[in-house]
Amino acid sequence: MVLTIEEIREVVEGVILCDDNNVNIERAMASDLMSDVLAFAEPGIMLITGLHSPQVIRTALVVGIPVVLMVRKIDVPESVIDFAKESGVTLIATKLSMFETCGRLYMRGIKPARREME
């Protein structure tokens, strides 16, 4: 199943903070460890994280991740939103926990990233 950015926003009851990609998402990875994202993520997936820092956007750029979904709060620092806009990374925020966010997206057909953690 492939979801649009708007469908993802609806599923997680979130807000779209910036959307310059107009992409559809089929796969996702959830992590607060950017080292795991660098090691196991693949281009084109959505990153789900509880971190609300510019480092998340930098990591997304290195890996080729077009969409970042930040969980647990929607008041993301303006500097992070600005960096995402400058970088062309779609940024969504939700008040839901990471667990509930992942569960809702999985139930709507989002698949895990293909690369396996060892």
- What pLDDT is recorded for position 107? 97
CA distance 112 to 46: 10
Tell me, yes or no, whether 118 lies in a domain. Answer: no
Q: Examine residue 14 and state whether it is found in any structural domain, yes or no.
A: yes
Number of domains in the chain: 1
- Percent of the chain surpassing pLDDT 70: 97
Supply the pLDDT for residue 115: 65
Q: What is the pLDDT of residue 116?
A: 58
Residue 31 in any domain: the answer is: yes
Helices (H) and strands (E) in the chain, counts: 5, 8
Whether 117 maps to a domain, the answer reads no
CATH number, domain at 67? Answer: 3.40.1390.20
Domain residues for 103? 3-112
Who's near 74: CB < 8 A, 6+ residues apart?
14, 15, 93, 94, 95
Chunked into runs of 10 residues, the chain (118 residues) has average pLDDT values of 96 95 92 96 96 97 97 96 96 98 98 73
